[in-house]
Structure 1
Amino acid sequence: MYTGLKHLHSGLAYLALAALVVIFIYALIGSLSNKTYTEKDRKIALIGFILAHVQLLIGLILYFVSPLGFALLKEGGAMSDKVARLTALEHPVINIIAIIVITIGYSRAKKLSESRAKFRSIYMMYAIGLVLILSRIPWASWLG
């Protein structure tokens, strides 16, 4: 189960990151070109929203079944080891914050009335969430 979840979390990360980048660019172009925000645009933003939340859910499950997640905090000593701290604390906390930011951007866009403001909410908040996520990916274990 652990190995399957780990592979799913890593594989879905590529899809979620690609979607967030594409949606950011799409919303930025929509805002700069004064395009009218349509139901199609909302659904495109929803794809990134859903992928980010599914990735978070899988990550949280993995955090509690993995020997590298919550178990490291219970054992102690994770704060003195840079890699252990990233895995046990920084990666999950910063990514939860990133998903919250993405959620705020998507929810705000639904409530706003002006098309440009909707696109702006999406591209700004999705970009902040994307930067937060990229800042706390354990690159050494992900690419290695």
Structure 2
Amino acid sequence: MYTGLQHLHSYLAYLVIAGLLVAIIGAFMGSSGNKPFTDSNRKMALLGLIPTHLQWVIGLILYFVSPLGMSNFSGPNMKDSVARLYMLEHPLMMILAVILITIGYARAKRSIGSNKGFRNIYIFYGIGLILILARIPWNAWPGN
């Protein structure tokens, strides 16, 4: 089960990145077109939100069952950059990214009818995507 969750978590990252890019590009195009944020734009933003939340739940489960996660949390491991990445840096940045993406979606949802919804999506989703890309363990990325 652990290996299956690990593979799912690794490959779902592609869907998260693609969904966030689609939502960010769509929001940026909508903002530059000076159109109002509509319900269909809100649904397009869900392409970034839903896979991100699903990925977070799978990652949370992995954090508690993986030998690299919570069970690895100790003082000496803070000196090991790989151990620190898996037990602290990666989970912390992903939580911050999920929070920012969720805030962006919630603010955009309340901005239906105005242009502010687009800005909320591309700013918050963009910062979330940068955080995600900054702390992906690239050495363990599928295909490496």
* TM-score over 0.5 for the pair: yes
Q: Which residue of 2 aligns with 1:50?
A: 50
Task: Name the CA shift for 1:112/1:37 in 2 (closer, same or farther; >3 Å).
Answer: closer
- Which structure 1 segments of 5+ residues have no match? none
Deviation of residue 112 (structure 1)?
2.2
State percent identity of aligned pairs.
Answer: 57
The separation in 1 between residues aligned to 2:129 and 2:9, in whole angstroms, is: 16
Q: Runs of 5+ in structure 2 lacking a partner?
A: none
- Write out the 4+ residue segments of structure 1 that deviate beyond 6 Å after TM superposition: none
CA-CA distance at 1:142 after TM superposition: 1.3
**Counterpart for residue 8 of structure 1:** 8
Aligned residues: 143
**Counterparts of 2:112 and 2:42 in 1: how far apart (Å)?**
13
Shift, 1:61, TM fit: 0.2
Distance 1:34 1:136 in 2: 34
Aligned counterparts of 1:45 and 1:57: Cα–Cα separation in 2: 19
Q: How does 1:19-58 map to 2 (within 5 A)?
A: 19-58=19-58
Three-state SS of the structure 1 residue aligned to 2:35 is coil
Distance of 2:114 and 2:6 partners within structure 1: 39
Conserved? CA contact 1:27–1:120, under 8 Å: yes
- Distance in 2, matches of 1:114 and 1:133, equals 30
